Amino acid sequence: MLRVRASLLVLLLALLAAGCSLGDSQGAAPSFTAEGGDSASLEGLERFSLLSLATANTTRLGGRDAVDDAAAAAVASYPGTSEQARPSAVMLVDEENWQGAVAASVLSGRPIGAPMLVTDGADELPDVSQAGLEQLNPKGSDLSRDAQVIKIGSDPPTPDDFRTALIGGDDPYALAAAVDRFSTVARGEPSENVIVASGEQPEYSLPAGAWAARSGDSVLFTEQDRLPPATERALAAHERPNIYVLGPEEAVGREVFDGLRRLGNVRRIEGPDPVKTSVAFARYRQGNFGWGVVVPGFQFTLANADRPLDAAAAAPLGTNGIFAPLLITDDADTLPRPIEDYFLDVRPGFEEDPRTAVYNHVWLLGDTSAIGPEMQGRLDEIARLIPVQLEGEDAPGQPGQAAPPTRAAPQRPPRDESRRPPRDEPRRPPRGEPRRRTPEPTPGRGPRARND
């Protein structure tokens, strides 16, 4: 029965991805059916598959808790429908262990590629996690002695009929250090970059997980005013890495920051609050570290700071072809202004032919108690590809509207790339129509619609 329900989930996710768009072109809030209003009345995969909702530019992996969200994200990333769509291993982490979820996100990327499922403290896996595990059907990782399941900490139950390995630690700091050692052995060398984040304030630390999955850079934890010995030993094993402290002094104090200088080259990525810190991290790049997302054409993940275990769901969305930085909201109903400003900065646009444009897409983690429908509607609106007006011309018409008068030459299909002039050679405007294009996007404000 669980296998049937898992297959049903894959079908539902495929239908959503194929174009179930609820929301109009003006960015109105998506509507929810009554059947999806109370996730507690549903069992297994149906509990969140009915709550999964896609608009043109957003996909909600929504359930009542992180158990649901993690299973939805894992199956979306690894449908298990073919040998290539199965992961080598699956991680299990308990819902009380957000530090383990963030630190273990590094194992979601190469070379292991393990998505994460969440347990709830019971002696058996939750129905949705059991169904997800069977759908994923991990092949076994030779980097973990052919284990199919990797338990992060001793709290998750050991599933039947799957070869299981354990990564343990006496506290969150020792556990993160153990994950770091496991990752180092799998990679064959320690990562040259390490994130040090708060082990006490998850709202500042959650974005580190998605980057760890993307890059293979380890995440270690600290107290605000004291560097734990387990973390210090782990950093020493990296032999003076580049250390990136995530969060302001409220999360990682100055004394700890200064003490880290003995162990490597230290930089701080911060904002005055968790929302702005997540935006700062999405923008940040130093050498080969950081997303550096300051132009259109990317995917993003959004989670509520009140649901820290949604970091487990964000891990596979940070890798495996999605590569989405994790942004944090502290409000379920209204899109925080820093997030809105950031999406407006990287809003995609096109001048003549939308077929040659780039697109943004936002993955939402949680049901409407975590991220409300109005917020999803606004995100869909400001992530939408829009026409960009050239100076001296009228803007192209919106879909469903008559095109306004324009002096532009008729659009033609894109020419063969082999016949195009080199990139550094200026292209001539249409004969008799001298035009000056708007500047190319730079780190800063992207194209806006007139009502923004």
**The predicted structure's pLDDT at residue 402:** 37
Question: Of 165, 158, 169, 79, whose CA–CA distance to 122 is shortest?
Answer: 158
- The answer to whether 78 and 6 are in contact (CB under 8 A) is no
Residue 288's nearest CA partner among 407, 191, 355 is 191
Residues 77 and 73: their CA atoms lie apart, in Å, by: 6
The whole-angstrom separation of Cα 314 and Cα 298 is 15
**Alpha carbon distance 97, 352 (integer Å):** 50
* 250 CA to centre of own chain: 25
Find, among 428, 430, 348, the residue nearest to 386 by Cα: 348
Is the pTM higher than 0.85? The answer reads no
Three-class SS state of 108: helix
Contact between residue 173 and residue 156 where contact means Cβ atoms under 8 Å apart: no
The answer to whether residues 347 and 444 touch, using CB atoms and an 8 Å cutoff, is no
Alpha carbons 159 and 161: distance in angstroms, whole number:
7
Q: What is residue 66's predicted lDDT score, i.e. its pLDDT?
A: 92
Cβ 296 vs Cβ 383: under 8 Å:
no
Q: pLDDT at position 391, please?
A: 55
- Residue 393, pLDDT score: 52
Provide the pLDDT for residue 146.
Answer: 87
Task: List the Cα angle 394/398/403 in 5-degree steps.
Answer: 50
Name the one residue in this structure whose structure tokens are 């469903």.
Answer: 400
Provide the H-helix boundaries in 127-266: 127-136, 172-187, 202-205, 207-215, 229-237, 254-260
Contacts of 285 (CB under 8 A, 6+ apart): 291, 292
Give me the residue spans of the domains in the chain: 2-21+43-387
- pLDDT tens for the chain, 452 residues long, are 444 344 434 433 443 333 333 223 333 443 333 333 344 444 455 544 544 578 999 999 878 899 999 999 999 899 888 888 899 999 999 999 999 999 999 999 989 999 999 999 999 999 999 999 999 999 998 887 789 999 999 999 999 999 999 999 999 999 999 999 999 999 999 999 999 999 999 999 999 999 999 999 999 999 999 999 999 999 999 999 999 999 999 999 999 999 999 999 999 999 999 999 999 999 999 999 999 999 999 999 999 999 999 988 999 999 988 999 999 999 999 999 999 999 999 999 998 889 889 999 999 999 999 999 999 999 999 999 999 865 555 544 444 443 333 333 333 334 444 434 444 444 444 545 444 444 444 444 455 444 44
Backbone angles phi, psi at 129, to 5 degrees: -70, -40
Q: What pLDDT is recorded for position 427? A: 47
Geometric angle at alpha carbon 299, from 297 and 303, rounded to 5°: 145
To which H or E segment does residue 327 belong? strand 326-329
